[in-house]
Structure 1
Amino acid sequence: MLRVALYARYSSDLQSDASVEDQLRLCRARADSEGWQIVESYSDRAISGASMMRPGLQGLLSDAQEGRFDVVLAESLDRLSRDQEDIAHIYKRLTFRGVKVVTLSEGPVSEIHIGLKGTMGALYLKDLADKTRRGLSGRVMQGKSGGGNAYGYDVVKRVNADGAAIRGERTINPDEAEIVRRIFRDYAAGKSPKAIAMTLNKEGIAGPGGNEWGQSTINGNRHRGTGILNNELYIGRMIWNRQRFIKDPDTGKRVARPNPESEWIVSDVPELRIVDQELWDIVKARQGTLERAKPNFWKNQRPRNLFSYLLKCGECGGGFAKISQTHYGCSTARNKGTCDNRLAMGQVKLEAAIIEVLQSKLMDPALCDVFCQEYTRHVNQVRRSHNAALAGHKRELKKLERDKARMIDSIKEGVPAEVIRDELIRTVDRIGEIERLIADAQEAPVMLHPNMAQRYRNEVLNLIVALNDEAHRHEAADLLRSLIDKVVLTPNPTRSALTVDVHGDLAGILAMAHKEKGGAPSRGTPPVSQVKLVAGAGFEPATFRL
């Protein structure tokens, strides 16, 4: 009996989970009719098929590598992916593992389906994007919204004579418009975006989308036209196509890219003006003055204190930052006024306590032996999969070299070169790809040093000493920070003091534990990416409370 894994996906958050359940139901019926044994079901909800970064798909590929099933069954090939490169990648990996791909629409999938359907899926996405942009640009040229809604406006809902919805119309919301004018007046009068946000939150005035007001909500990015103070719609000027979004092929996430001003589509909509021109000009002048006063400010910033950006509030999840020269406090409580954690802790006391935890508790000898056993067991499993893939690449390379030699011999014996030219080119390209994979892949080591805990403590002690050396202070601070995932400060039950929980970063701790005297990682040190993978399986160091 063939073992089958089911896969289902829907891409829009406007759809419902019922789409996935319907796909799985149809796949189960097909598997039952074929007499296949269903061993697992994978699904991704509200995630685009143009991205490989899908938990369900990644789980399917990982389990295929372990040989858990013989067939992958989906409703159609575009459920697996709409991207040409990705669908070929998925098919190639599954085929290499001896896993067949079957869909309800195409039946058993072959290379022909991959080529044709992959191209059709890519063209579908491009055509959809072009049609969407064309429709939105036409709407904007008519003075209507190109999508979304800005604070200060309401969406107008009405239909035409045929009963179809008329989209893109906006009208001013009087209450929100007054808040917008108030923000502009306060900023022009010298108040900071932080102070404005805190005042609005204290008064219980909801921000855009019903959320709290924040400094970035008001200030935004002047050059990209984001934030309340930079939205030109408030002066009756609608701008569309300021930026475009493209997907990072490695992460699948959308990344904003600014468009040249020549590609902007601008429409005058005086009926939507909220802020008068004089007030707008005053705000722009003040922004320009502040911008010139701080050239490249953020670009040149580095953590100002030893544990900057690692401190978190246990009540609201916001950051803990310096509230005076000597103390840390909750940023949300002080910047937005929406957190009740008003307690503070001295910088010297906090840093000393965290360093003591790093040195003495995160690698407790009593727990180290148990950890090493469990960690080694899990990494061995990762290594087996890694080395199996490496061995597979080496076998494939030998076969390709034989095929290449055979084709060359055929040409020497008189077979016309054009007959086998394409196949020879594909073979040579694949040989190059496999050689690069083998060159980049090394046998995955797993051994942990028996004196790991003691070596870790010695390294931390050296870093603490280096903090007092001006020449090495920054490097030592960066290394110490790499040992920490986060530090959470929470009021105790009586709210008389802060309780501090230090969360260790497994990758940084193990890298430190495996360091040799010269400073380089010792042989046999697990790669950081491998450490992160195992950490995800539940082997993060314990949290230690001060």
Structure 2
Amino acid sequence: MSRPLRALIYARYSTDLQSASSAEDQIRVCRQLCEAHGWHVVEEVRDEAISGASHLRQGFQRLHEAAQDGICDVIVAEALDRLSRDQEHMAGLYKRLAYHRVKIVTRSEGEIDEMRVSFGGLMSSQFLKQLAEKTRRGLEGRVMAGKSGGGNSYGYRVRRGFDTGGTVITGERDIDDAEAAVVRRIFADYDSGLSARSIAAALNAEGMAPPRSGGKGSGSWGSSTIQGNWRRGTGILNNELYVGVRVWNRQSFVKDPDTGKRQARLNPPEMWVTTEVPDLRIINAALWDRVKARQAGIREAMNPAGVSDPRPRPERAKRPDYLLSGLVRCDCCGSGYSMINRTRLGCSGARNRGAAVCTNRATIGREDLEERVLGGLRNRLMHPELIAAFVEAYRLAFNEAAGRRSSDHDAARKALAQAEAKIAGLLTAIEDGMYHPSMKTKMEALEALKMELTAKLAETPEPPALRLHPSLGDRYREEIGRLAEALQRPSTRPAATGILRGLIREIRVVPEADAPGGHHVELVGELAGILGLAEGQAGISRPDMTKPPRVARAVCSSGYVTVVAGTGFEPVTFRL
């Protein structure tokens, strides 16, 4: 008697506005489906409060891993759109599951085939597009009526209650007197000559609560909170609502297909929707004009040539000035380390937000930091375990390609044998006096197929057995030795830098007086995992380890090395 199919149940709901019980309900009906088919449920996976348009979901990625590890025979979901609402991601999932012989079955559609994937993905994409268009149309009508199109600016509070007809009030705002006083103070201080950085430091020192940011940000005032971007209308000093003018649709958001993150793009002025809301005025026009004049003067002083290109040009996107630009973070407050002079990096939180946010005034030389990171690469990537891992990866890739060639070769040989058998059958029938004119056409088609398959087999011989070249390890050492050279050579530096930066999520610097350069340096990301493997860490997740320990320690020449082996998308940490 054959064993029952092993089923993995997947459930997802989209936003925090939906009930968490939605996932439980989905799992319940999927379990009923599994019981009806006699399937054994081996695992339940869920993604909660996350859009189906993104593939960067821990549960969604788990489906790929489960199929690859061979722990299930069928993926069960309530409906196809629970798995994904993106055509590309759904097609990719189906393709990979089919490769591992894992079926997809939903309660709504039954067993999923290629046609259902194509049609379902198209319908889901159209649903998202139409939903976005309807939402935008509704928001535009609300704004045209003088109401808010969503979100809330600092200095205002959402009006709660019911109108005279008993309907819930939506889209109305009232001035928050306490926050409005802070707004007036910021404008007055800036008008008197104070910088945005000085104003932010003073507000933090007084313990003034900053604008709410939905759980994001540092929870303190920063110069960017005040100064913002004048073109996009962000920042306290650029919010026209403070002078009684509401501007909507100034910018739109598009999702990066690689990262899944939304990117803001400035819309042309003719697409903006502007309405007068005098009841929400906090700043008088004269003060607003003086602040705008000072901002314009500062921009002119910083750009005496007057170079200006308001159009977003992705091909002119600014590349990092230095190898590690934008990756270095202060371990004390989480702020970035930025250049404070020509040669040294320091905590921007301590400098832009004041001592109330961070007291770390230690600095580190840029070249010294880069050398420590690159030095760790050069030294640790030569470890015998990494060379062995490189050779093994090459062997697996070769065998996979050879397996595909062998499968194609076997299929062609089998088809040739079937064609020859049919030809022999026709000849036997003719010899027995059973000739019919239609046999001639069939014989010609079979002879043509035989010639085609014979030629194909001649062009694609049996794949050879893998014989690893004895100098393969030497080639690995040679390529690693060229790393520093590639990062310095102008022709290869952009590509090499991009690859290296793609392996590093962030670099944490921990100020400590007795450490080299006054800092300990920790790498976070895939590169940290690679370096941990070079040190033989048990805490690094490997293919032969199903549940690696979350934290492991080992001693190397530079002292304790901390390796954090997380799950899903958690980064790995490695100290240099």
Query: Could you tell me the TM-score, scaled by structure 2's length?
Result: 0.68
Pick one of 31, 34, 38 that aligns with 1:35: 38
Partner residue, 2:509: 489
390 and 251 in structure 1: CA distance in 2 versus 1, 3 angstrom threshold: farther
CA apart distance, 1:250: 3.8
Asked if the contact 1:76/1:104 (under 8 Å) is kept, the reply is yes
CA separation of 1:207 and 1:159: change in aligned 2, threshold 3 A: same
Question: Who is 1:432 aligned against?
Answer: none
CA contact (8 A) 2:330 2:510 kept: yes
- Counterpart of 2:521 (choices 485, 488, 501) is 501
Structure 2 counterpart of 1:344: 362
* Contact 1:10–1:46, Cα closer than 8 Å, also in 2: yes
Question: Residues 297 and 74 of structure 1: is their aligned pair in 2 closer, same or farther, counting only changes over 3 Å?
Answer: same
**Superposed displacement of residue 30, structure 1:** 2.1
Q: Which amino acid aligns with 2:510?
A: T
- 2:22 corresponds in structure 1 to 19
- Offset at residue 112 of structure 1 (A): 5.4
Q: Secondary structure at the match of 1:5?
A: strand
Question: Gaps spanning 5+ residues in structure 1: where?
Answer: 403-412, 414-442, 512-533
Q: Classify the secondary structure of the residue corresponding to 2:151.
A: coil
1:241 aligns with 2:255: no
Q: Distance in 2 between the 1:116 and 1:263 partners?
A: 34
Alignment counterpart, residue 232 of structure 1, candidates 228, 240, 248: 240
Q: Is the 8 A contact 1:307 1:481 kept in 2?
A: no
Deviation (angstroms), 1:103: 1.2
Q: Which amino acid aligns with 2:371?
A: I
SS of the residue 1:204 aligns to: coil
Rounded to whole Å, the distance in 2 between the matches of 1:83 and 1:334 is 43
- In structure 2, distance between residues paired with 1:480 and 1:111: 35
Counterpart of 1:4?
7
Secondary structure of residue in 2 paired with 1:363: helix
Amino acid at match of 1:383: A
- 1:258 matched to 2:290: no
C-alpha contact (below 8 Å) 1:155/1:170 kept by paired residues:
yes
Please give the secondary structure, in 2, of the residue aligned with 1:158.
coil
- Paired residue for 2:188? 185
Give the corresponding residue for 2:536.
none
1:329 to 339, 342, 346: 346
CA contact (8 A) 1:44 1:55 kept: yes
Q: 2:563: which partner in 1?
A: none
Q: 1:345, 1:380 → 2: CA distance?
A: 43
8 Å contact 1:487–1:500 — kept in the other structure? no
Taking a change above 3 Å as real, the CA distance of residues 31 and 195 of structure 1, as seen in their structure-2 partners, is same
Secondary structure class of the residue paired with 1:148: coil
AA paired with 1:50? A
Counterparts in 2 of 1:144-159, with a 5 A limit? Answer: 144-159=147-162
C-alpha distance in structure 1 between counterparts of 2:124 and 2:275, whole Å: 34
Match of 2:334 in 1: 317
Count of residue pairs brought into register by the alignment: 473
Query: 1:274 maps to what in 2?
Result: 282
- Pairwise CA distance, 1:277: 0.5
RMSD: 4.6
**Residue type at the aligned position of 2:53:** A
1:196 is paired with a residue of what secondary structure? helix
Question: Alpha carbons of 1:219 and 1:139: their partners in 2 closer, same or farther (altered >3 Å)?
Answer: same
Of 533, 543, 546, the residue aligned with 2:575 is 543
The aligned counterpart of 1:418 is: none
- Structure 1 length-normalised TM: 0.72
- Match of 1:277, as an amino acid? A
C-alpha change, 1:301 and 1:172, in structure 2 (3 Å) is same
Aligned to 1:141: 144
Residue 232 of structure 1 deviates from its aligned partner by 0.9
CA separation of 1:398 and 1:140: change in aligned 2, threshold 3 A:
farther
- Residue 36 (structure 1) shift: 0.7
For residues 345 and 180 of structure 1, the distance between their equivalents in structure 2, rounded to whole angstroms, comes to: 34
Matches within 5 A, 1:436-451: 450=473
Contact preservation (8 Å) 1:362, 1:541: no
Q: Give per-residue Cα distances to partners, 1:402-426, cap 9 Å, x unaligned.
A: 9xxxxxxxxxx9xxxxxxxxxxxxx
Counterpart of 1:26 in 2: which secondary structure?
A: helix
Change (3 A) 1:277 1:395: farther
Counterpart residue type for residue 509 of structure 2? L
Aligned pair 1:71/2:46, yes or no?
no
Candidates 71, 94, 98, aligned match of 2:97: 94
Contact 2:505 2:571 in 1 (8 A): no
- Conserved in 2, the CA contact under 8 Å of 1:376 and 1:447? no
Specify which of 382, 385, 391 is matched with residue 370 of structure 1: 385
Q: Match of 2:171? A: 168
CA distance in 1, matches of 2:491, 2:116: 59
Question: What letter corresponds to residue 344 of structure 1 in structure 2?
Answer: A
For 2:100 and 2:192, the matched residues in 1 are separated by 67
1:164 offset after TM fit, Å?
Answer: 3.4
Provide the identity percentage: 41
SS at match of 2:510: strand
Tell me the amino acid that sits aligned with residue 209 of structure 1.
R
How far did residue 231 of structure 1 move? 1.0
Contact 1:82/1:118, CA 8 A, preserved across alignment: yes
Residue 494 (structure 1) shift = 9.6
Deviations 1:131-164 (A, max 9, x none): 2222211211121111110000010001135543
Q: CA deviation at 1:65?
A: 4.5
Query: Distance between the aligned counterparts of 1:449 and 1:507, measured in 2?
Result: 22
One-letter code aligned to 1:106: E
- Alpha-carbon displacement from aligned partner over 1:323-350 (angstroms, at most 9, x marks no partner): 4566543221121124444342463xx7
Give the match for residue 521 of structure 1: none
Counterpart AA for 2:385: V
Q: Give the superposition deviation at 1:118.
A: 3.7
Code of the residue aligned with 2:347 in structure 1: it is C
Say whether residues 1:359 and 2:375 are aligned partners: yes
| 1: CA distance, partners of 2:132 / 2:29 | 30
CA contact (8 A) 2:512 2:519 kept: yes
SS at match of 2:45: strand
Q: How do 1:360-439 residues align onto structure 2 when only pairs under 5 Å count?
A: 363-364=379-380, 368-374=383-389, 379=393, 383=397, 387=401
Q: Could you say if the C-alpha distance between residues 361 and 83 of structure 1 is closer, same or farther in structure 2, counting changes exceeding 3 Å? A: closer
2:360–2:511 CA contact under 8 A, matched in 1: no
8 Å contact 2:104–2:111 — kept in the other structure?
A: yes
Q: Which of 275-284 and 329-338 deviates more?
A: 329-338
- Give 2:351's aligned amino acid: R
Q: Which amino acid letter does the alignment assign opposite residue 383 of structure 2?
A: C
Q: CA deviation at 1:273?
A: 0.4
Deviations along 1:449-481, whole A, 9 cap, x unmatched?
Answer: 5458975885578689x79xxx99988996998
